A and B are shown apart, each in its own frame.
Chain A
Amino acid sequence: MSTESIAIEKERKPLFTTKDRKLITDPLNDDNPITVQVLGICSALAVTVQVKPALFMCLGVIFVVAMGNFVISLIRNFIPSRVRIIVQLVVVAALVTVVDQALKAYAYDVSKELSVFVGLIITNCIVMGRLEAFALANKPGPSVLDGIGNGLGYSLILVAVAVVRELLGSGSILGFPIIGQWALDLGYKHNGLFVLPPMALIMVGIIIWIQRSKNQKLIEAN
């Protein structure tokens, strides 16, 4: 792939150049939206009590960031810069409403599972953050990849936090009991603190700590 990466600027380029792949992989680690960009923290608090809603939330965010990036990138040359934030908001809100309505009509059970969180995707800072930072300055193709990449990076942290919180808070994962009755009989107790929102922040903090100790690039020069 290294020879191909030179060809980026040429007319014909391979389906996924190294640069394109970096758009997907960077947000997973070096440029993670939650732990490095510190975006989308709010929903990381709200939907990580259990794994299942966290997974649905991830799918919703991946879809909306990718589509939002695509649409904004398409019309980026027509958007007056003074109203660009409002334009972004309108596009994101419209996309989320379409997703919400489609789920209600054709996947009623999933829409019930997600309930208010579909609407909350609108306020997810990652969506607006990526529209502003990437889609406004890049072509539609890379913008979609950037959206998917950031959605995945967000999902990675969300699911990691949710697994720990559900396991220690309720003793199960995806609703399946992991910590059996025998452990409870021996005097083990579920840690109620993990069910409460502050524990998500502490978990995110721990993840940032681990990530920084492994990835020296993230440590500021001063």
Chain B
Amino acid sequence: MVNKESNSYTLIFSAVLVVLVGVLLTVVFEITNKPYEKSVEMEKRQNILSAAMGKTLTREEADQMFVQYIKESKVYNSAGEEVQGQDAFTLDLSKELKKPEAEQLYPMFIFQDGSTVRYILGMRGTGLWGPIWGYIAIESDLNSVFYANFDHKGETPGLGAEIKQAIFQDQFALTKGKKIYENNEFRGVLVEKKGKTSETSEEYKHVVNGISGGTITSDGVSNMLQKYLKAFDAYIKKAGIAPATQQANLQTNASNQQP
């Protein structure tokens, strides 16, 4: 029997163990990565379309319906200038956030169902433990919020993680009457501690309630909303459209007929 406590045995044992475990994990990763990436992509379609339609679709439904409803997408920078040659769907917002503010790009998707048109902004920000992201759908008046959904990497279950629950997201539903502008002046939608702004006040149009115990995540959502709504504001100003005053049409081909 070899001496288990000798240095050489210990070194060899450790090396063999680490190589074995390394090989095992590589194999597992190779097998599982493809289905995982497919799920992530399908989920992205699910989130975009669920925000645009204001209801929860399954990943499979969304995957099929996506091409039918999301006909066009745009990418623009902080100054609101449209950027060509970028795909909004594959735009990696985690990389964009690392760039200087002026160089960051923002994705926007256009949903069209018959005469109904909505604009969906892809967003990404920081919560308490890691990244948060989401999609906000805006009506064609460019002012009314239609719906929004959020997701996160690792916020605390029961606290910050509640941002992905209907109880938080439903506050953005069209019926709640959240508006981005007040008399053509940009206000955005803020996430605040419940009760800070009276529910009966005019100001409540621009406020949703945060999550008790999830203040830092709520603040993260608030900052994220402001950032991406402001960029959208810059974009529509560049496009020469005043919000809320007219039915806007941001589509490249305005006479785009639906099947």
Q: With a CB–CB cut-off of 8 A, which chain B residues contact A102?
A: 28, 32
In the assembled complex, the Cα of A86 lies from the Cα of B21 at a distance in Å of 13
Question: Is B13 a contact of A90 with CB atoms below 8 Å?
Answer: no
Check A215 for interface membership: any CB of B closer than 8 A.
Answer: no
Question: Is A82 a contact of B157 with CB atoms below 8 Å?
Answer: no
In the assembled complex, the Cα of A105 lies from the Cα of B29 at a distance in Å of 10
Q: With a CB–CB cut-off of 8 A, which chain B residues contact A53?
A: 157-158
Q: When A108-B36, A108-B39, A195-B213 are in contact, do A80 and B157 touch as well, CB less than 8 Å?
A: no
Q: When A90-B17, A104-B32 are in contact, do A49 and B25 touch as well, CB less than 8 Å?
A: no
Q: How many Å from the CB of B41 to the closest CB on chain A?
A: 11
Interface centre among A82, A87, A104, A192 (most CB of B within 10 A): A104
Question: Is B158 a contact of A49 with CB atoms below 8 Å?
Answer: yes
Q: How many Å from the CB of A209 to the closest CB on chain B?
A: 25
Interface size on B, residues (CB 8 A): 34
Who on chain B is nearest to A46 by CB?
A: B156
A3-11, A14-22, A93-101 - the one binding chain B: A93-101
- Return the contact of B4 from the options A47, A81, A91, A117 (Cβ within 8 A): A81
- Return the contact of B21 from the options A52, A79, A81, A94 (Cβ within 8 A): A94
Q: With a CB–CB cut-off of 8 A, which chain A residues contact B31?
A: 105
Q: When A47-B157, A98-B28, A105-B31 are in contact, do A82 and B17 touch as well, CB less than 8 Å?
A: no
Interface string of A179-213 (1 = CB under 8 A from B): 00000000000001001100000000000000000
Question: Is A98 a contact of B25 with CB atoms below 8 Å?
Answer: yes
Q: When A106-B35, A192-B212 are in contact, do A115 and B153 touch as well, CB less than 8 Å?
A: yes
- Return the contact of A116 from the options B13, B29, B154, B159 (Cβ within 8 A): B154
Question: Is B13 a contact of A78 with CB atoms below 8 Å?
Answer: yes
Q: How many Å from the CB of B156 to the closest CB on chain A?
A: 7
Q: How many Å from the CB of A159 to the closest CB on chain B?
A: 14
Majority SS at the chain A contact face: helix
Question: Is A79 a contact of B39 with CB atoms below 8 Å?
Answer: no
Who on chain A is nearest to B5 by CB?
A: A80
Question: Is B13 a contact of A79 with CB atoms below 8 Å?
Answer: yes
Q: How many Å from the CB of A175 to the closest CB on chain B?
A: 9
In the assembled complex, the Cα of A78 lies from the Cα of B9 at a distance in Å of 10
Check B72 for interface membership: any CB of A closer than 8 A.
Answer: no
CB<8 Å pairs between A and B, sample of 18: A49-B156, A50-B157, A53-B158, A79-B13, A80-B5, A80-B13, A82-B10, A83-B14, A87-B13, A94-B21, A97-B25, A98-B25, A98-B28, A105-B33, A105-B36, A106-B32, A115-B155, A195-B158
Q: 12 other contacts beyond A80-B10, A115-B157, A115-B161, with CB at 8 A cut-off?
A: A50-B158, A80-B4, A87-B13, A90-B18, A91-B21, A102-B28, A104-B36, A105-B33, A105-B39, A106-B35, A115-B153, A170-B158
* The 4 A-B residue pairs with the shortest CB-CB distance in the complex, in nearest-first order: A49-B158, A105-B32, A116-B154, A53-B157
